[in-house]
Structure 1
Amino acid sequence: MKKNHDLLPLMDAIKEYDEKDVIPFDVPGHKHGKGTKELVDFFGERVMRIDVNSMKCLDNIGNPVSVIKEAQDLLADAYGADHAFFLTNGTSSGVQAMIMSACQAGDKVILPRNAHKSAINALILGGITPVYVQPEMDENLGIAMGVTLDKIREAIAINPEAKAVFLINPTYYGASSNLKAIVELCHKNDMAVLVDEAHGAHLHFHEELPMSAMEAGADMSAVSLHKTGGSLTQSSGLLLKEGIIDKNRVKTIINLTTSTSASYLLMASLDGARKILATRGREILCEKLELVRWARKEINAIDGMYAFSTELVDKEGVFSFDETKLGINVSKLGLTGFQAYDILRDEYNIQMELGDIYNVLGIVSLGDSKDAIEALVDALKDISLKYKKEEFKCDLLALENPEVVIIPRDAFYMEKKILPLTDSVGEISGEYIMAYPPGIPILSPGERITKSIIDYIEVLKTQKSVLTDNHDPSGEYIKVLKHNNVRSIAI
């Protein structure tokens, strides 16, 4: 039976609780804001009053039976899933739950090397062995795209015992793989398909966008409603189709790392964002697609700039493209993306999502306006006039998959030593190094360090990129395994 998406079961329950003016002798300790005037002045009285804890009338995220369950069921219905779970620790927790629900310690999972660090964290937590697939690279743009059906087929043939295939839909920059064909291939080989849709929470609600994971028949997907669906930061959803993976196992895995004091502000925002997407998502996305298509036309008329889009479709690794990802190549201006990112923020008060060697990326979503898009276009026109010089070129872009010497969990727990980064060629990394955003590891624990990897990190340092997760924020030193004579794993 079709569900009524005008309903807001969790938001209404919180509102009803607030209107009762209950005298609280439970947590949180601010007691509806009465003890923290500074927070009330900053956040507003309403926010503090509805920052509440689990109780019978508001259900419990660990084992929902009433209003949270009703809200989760609506979320599942909106995306064409059989079950949904609210996440209050972002899609990172959903990615970990997916991999650990499909795999046990010692199992293999096939995944692209441009996966988010949360996927590698799941391997550490679960003792799972990675089988990396090299994503396709666009050398002109200097970015990784999707993975091809042929490469997934090859990985399955070599690793028929793998339990799952993990995919990204879409990539940070908007590229989507042939998801439906990959799902069919994996299911023929009795493998679960897990999809990181951190940047695809909106896909399901407009037919001109890439196919969503649930529509393609994937077993699970994690969607960042806070990124492109309108909910509050750190709130996401985990979607499940019945079949290969048991819903009770998923709930158990989620509860391993979920707070028993999950934020009702975050959960309520998921309830509200779902209503917006389910009832008005297509209408809103039509408006945003019109805006972003106009922006691309204007940007591509600017000397030295290229806003890439659906013309990439049918190239290797690009089966379809999410036009709401406004990637702009600035290399012909003579700028790096890092420089353009800083210029836009510091001189024009415009905050882009990220800068990389060649590009800046803007995310166009529910809240973007014509005025904001026009301000960006005007700023880019001005930058072209002020900064245009000889084209910038970099030969250090196409990194190959590092050699996985030992599984991430073993490397994580092994004894380490610290070396200068420049002296670490041939060593085995004992930590992550990545640029954030997007949080895709350049090195992960257990991988062999090469000169090309070091050279790439040195380029990032010269561009003042933010390096994260390594013990030395400057990137001058790196933790490596103390004993380098370990035997490589067989994968």
Structure 2
Amino acid sequence: MKNKESQSKAPIYEALMRYKKARVVPFDVPGHKQGRGNPMLKEFLGEQCVSVDVNSMKPLDNLCHPVSVIKEAEELAAEAFGSKHAFLMVNGTTSAVQAMVMSVCKKDEKVIMPRNVHRSAINALIISGAIPVYINPGVNKKLGIPLGMSVEDVKKAIKEHPDAKAIFVNNPTYYGICSNLKEITKLAHENGMYVLVDEAHGTHFYFGKNMPVSAIEAGADMAAVSMHKTGGSLTQSSFLLLNCDLHIGYVRQIINLTQTTSGSYLLMSSLDLARRDLVLNGKEIFEKVTELAEYARAEINKIDGYYAFSKELIDGDTVFDFDKTKLSIFTRDIGLAGVEVYDILRDEYGIQIEFGDIANILAIISVGDRNLTIERLISSLSEIKRLYSKDKAGMFDHEYINPEVVLTPQEAFYSEKNSLPINKSDGKICGEFVMCYPPGIPILAPGERITREILDYIEYAKEKGCFLTGTEDIKIKNINIVEE
């Protein structure tokens, strides 16, 4: 039970206010010295902000080894999320995902995971040397999107790889699709495996009403939560939730392998204040968000040619539940790839949505939205359909291609490589990533066989305007392949 009285505290924020009031003369870093050394920065960000952009010191604690106000903030966060401990993360959810994998898997140990994970999870394999056992997610043929993990596929993977250390679950997906997290967790624990959840898009599951089950509620062992995505903290700030018998000190050592020793107090205080706000006001906040998303979904579905999908996709398996706050919209029936609609919305209508892929767009709805902005999005989509729609013949009809894994990500990434023109790499083993960002889910990851189907997909994504990343060649004309 969350104690509202203790949860109304924000210890890091309060310590910063005491620091500011004390008028401390700084002979430490950062060198801008409370903004005085960089007037333009001070004018841009504001005096209040730069005056508390400070370094670790005894009254403000130390993120690498918290003993006072940061420790208290972590304990309040753990209580808020219902976990045994919560770590403040300032290197983004990327570092939280990497810390989860590296806390339970050493070199050559296996982790079962869906292939449509964020690049941060595969990066964790490159760093640690853990071996992925990929489960291909279900695919919705109409929408062309990857779905959740089938319980039967998880059972099969556990049976074939009983020595796996952990099961990694992406929940919810970018599109709002949720797996049967309780059943997957039960299966994993029965077989002595940890459950690690990339919950980047699920902060609101802990604080809203009638939400899909959260990782901690489902009994997962660790969860990486992007507080900045739907929780109101500053970009790059996240929580890593620990809910098992791993020693807190050991997990912190793992975090400290990759996280900065100069933790930003702006990011930490934003986590502190966002946690406070969500505990005190989360139910009302996410009730409003859900109402806005549901209204937008209903109105967009009245426009012939768009499909804003929701709980009707639920099948009890690969779509076990759906996050109604996600406004995911299928666009291919108007003859436009999602990324084309994404570009038109930004360039012609001044609307920036989260991402567009080859068949869908995603608009993030949050407490910061208003009825007026929702109406503007709806009317803009209607006008785009009227002005830009075309024949959908020849459009790509799927977002996910099952990979053939030849080498582990670490082996491939650190192997001797050659650079080839990407259109001549068919049949070779990929030595790097290729992905559209956002969302940052690899089309190709190190160690996978390059196929003509994948190359056609990459070419199509380029043509439609996807922002491709991951290769050493910034123009994505060449690709590094592993010498065989």
TM range (shorter): over 0.9
Query: Which of 118, 122, 125 is matched with 2:124 structurally?
Result: 122
User: Are 2:390 and 1:389 equivalent residues in the alignment?
Assistant: yes
Query: Which of 143, 146, 154 is matched with 2:145 structurally?
Result: 143
Where 1:268 maps in the other structure, the secondary structure is helix
**Which residue is equivalent to 1:344?**
345
Q: Contact (CA 8 Å) 1:87, 1:94: kept in 2 or not? A: yes
- Per-residue CA deviations over 1:1-34 (Å, capped at 9, x if unaligned) read 8532111111000011011110000100001011
Residue 288 of structure 1: how far off its partner (Å)? 1.1
Residue 380 of structure 1: how far off its partner (Å)? 1.2
Q: 1:303 to 1:95 in 2, by over 3 A?
A: same
Moved more, 3-12 or 154-163: 3-12
**Which residue is equivalent to 2:251?**
250
**Which residue is equivalent to 1:55?**
57
Q: Contact (CA 8 Å) 1:8, 1:272: kept in 2 or not? A: yes
* Letter of the structure 2 residue corresponding to residue 438 of structure 1: P
**Which residue is equivalent to 1:40?**
42
Q: Contact (CA 8 Å) 1:396, 1:452: kept in 2 or not? A: no
TM-score, normalized by length of structure 2?
0.98
User: Are 2:211 and 1:209 equivalent residues in the alignment?
Assistant: yes
Residue 247 of structure 1: how far off its partner (Å)? 1.9
**Which residue is equivalent to 2:115?**
113
Residue 246 of structure 1: how far off its partner (Å)? 2.5
Q: Contact (CA 8 Å) 1:307, 1:329: kept in 2 or not? A: yes
Alignment of 1:394-473 (within 5 A): 394-395=395-396, 397=398, 399-473=400-474
Q: Distance in 2 between matches of 1:42 and 1:399?
A: 42
Q: Contact (CA 8 Å) 2:11, 2:72: kept in 1 or not? A: yes
Q: Contact (CA 8 Å) 1:32, 1:50: kept in 2 or not? A: yes
Query: Which of 223, 228, 252 is matched with 1:221 structurally?
Result: 223
Moved more, 384-393 or 200-209: 384-393
Residue 471 of structure 1: how far off its partner (Å)? 1.4
Q: Distance in 1 between matches of 2:476 and 2:25?
A: 52
Residue 475 of structure 1: how far off its partner (Å)? 2.2
Where 1:215 maps in the other structure, the secondary structure is coil
Q: Distance in 2 between matches of 1:387 and 1:39?
A: 42
* Letter of the structure 2 residue corresponding to residue 372 of structure 1: T
**Which residue is equivalent to 2:24?**
22
Q: Contact (CA 8 Å) 1:110, 1:131: kept in 2 or not? A: yes
Moved more, 59-68 or 471-480: 471-480
Q: Contact (CA 8 Å) 2:10, 2:272: kept in 1 or not? A: yes
Residue 470 of structure 1: how far off its partner (Å)? 0.5
Q: Contact (CA 8 Å) 1:331, 1:359: kept in 2 or not? A: yes
Q: Distance in 2 between matches of 1:461 and 1:472?
A: 14
Q: Distance in 1 between matches of 2:295 and 2:409?
A: 45
**Which residue is equivalent to 2:266?**
265
User: Are 2:165 and 1:163 equivalent residues in the alignment?
Assistant: yes
- Per-residue CA deviations over 1:56-79 (Å, capped at 9, x if unaligned) read 000000110110010011111111
**Which residue is equivalent to 1:313?**
314
**Which residue is equivalent to 2:200?**
198
Residue 446 of structure 1: how far off its partner (Å)? 1.2
Where 1:480 maps in the other structure, the secondary structure is strand
Q: Distance in 2 between matches of 1:30 and 1:172?
A: 38
Q: Distance in 2 between matches of 1:137 and 1:286?
A: 30
Q: 1:344 to 1:463 in 2, by over 3 A?
A: same
* Letter of the structure 1 residue corresponding to residue 109 of structure 2: D
Where 2:24 maps in the other structure, the secondary structure is coil
Q: Distance in 2 between matches of 1:146 and 1:55?
A: 45
The alignment yields a C-alpha RMSD, in angstroms, of: 1.2
Q: Contact (CA 8 Å) 2:222, 2:244: kept in 1 or not? A: no
Query: Which consecutive unaligned segments of at least 5 residues does structure 1 have?
Result: 485-491
Query: Which of 123, 127, 132 is matched with 2:134 structurally?
Result: 132
Q: Distance in 2 between matches of 1:328 and 1:446?
A: 33
Moved more, 456-465 or 228-237: 456-465
* Letter of the structure 2 residue corresponding to residue 352 of structure 1: I
Q: 1:2 to 1:199 in 2, by over 3 A?
A: closer
Q: Distance in 2 between matches of 1:298 and 1:122?
A: 41
Q: Contact (CA 8 Å) 2:143, 2:398: kept in 1 or not? A: no
- Per-residue CA deviations over 1:51-107 (Å, capped at 9, x if unaligned) read 000000000001101100100111111111010000001000000000000111110
Q: Contact (CA 8 Å) 1:341, 1:360: kept in 2 or not? A: yes
**Matched pairs, number:** 482
- Per-residue CA deviations over 1:324-373 (Å, capped at 9, x if unaligned) read 11011111111111111111111110001001111111011221111111
**Which residue is equivalent to 1:478?**
479
Q: Contact (CA 8 Å) 2:56, 2:262: kept in 1 or not? A: yes
Q: Distance in 2 between matches of 1:348 and 1:55?
A: 47
Residue 252 of structure 1: how far off its partner (Å)? 0.6
Q: Distance in 1 between matches of 2:394 and 2:231?
A: 36
Residue 409 of structure 1: how far off its partner (Å)? 1.1
Residue 396 of structure 1: how far off its partner (Å)? 5.5
Q: Distance in 1 between matches of 2:454 and 2:227?
A: 33
Q: Contact (CA 8 Å) 1:419, 1:478: kept in 2 or not? A: yes
TM-score, normalized by length of structure 1?
0.96
Q: Distance in 1 between matches of 2:194 and 2:319?
A: 22
Residue 398 of structure 1: how far off its partner (Å)? 5.5
